[in-house]
Structure 1
Amino acid sequence: MADNADIATELMEQRLEGALANRPRWPEGDLATHPDSDCEECGDEIPAARRQVAPWATTCVACQSLRERRGKHVR
C-alpha cells in the first residue's frame, strides 16, 4: 500500500510530465534564424551564445540584468 510520500511523488511526476509535454517548442536547427532572436526590451539581437545556452531567453544579458534588479523576473 502506498503512503502519502509515494502518492505525492507520483502526483509530482505526473504534473512534471504534463508540463514538459506542454512546453513551448523551438524549431530544430540554427538558433540564429529563430524568430525571437531580438531582445524584447531594446530590440538588439540576442547573442548566439546566449540563445544556445538559454533558448527560452527573450532579452539580452544587459536587459535581463536590469529586469532582475528591478524585480521583474516574470515575462
Structure 2
Amino acid sequence: MRDAFSDISMSGMAGLELLRLVKAKQTAINESMIAAYGDEANHHKGVSSGSKEFIAKTILFDSLKVKIAKPINK
C-alpha cells in the first residue's frame, strides 16, 4: 500500500485531478488531501474522489502530524 499527500489546490494541476490520475495507475493507495478552506464543499470533493483523510490547513500542526502518520503506519 502506498501513501500520497497533496493539496486540493496546486499550480499546474488540481489535487483532485492528481488523485484521479494516481488512482488510475495505483489502486492500492492511501490519499490524504489538504485545503486552505475546510468547508463542506471541499470536504465532499476530497472524500467522494477517494481521499482517506481531508485536512483543513487551519488544523494545529500536532494534529496534522498525527493525520499524516496515520495512513503511513497502516
* TM-score, with length taken from structure 2: 0.22
Greater strand share, structure number: 2
* TM-score, with length taken from structure 1: 0.22
Q: Which has the larger radius of gyration?
A: 1
Greater helix share, structure number: 1
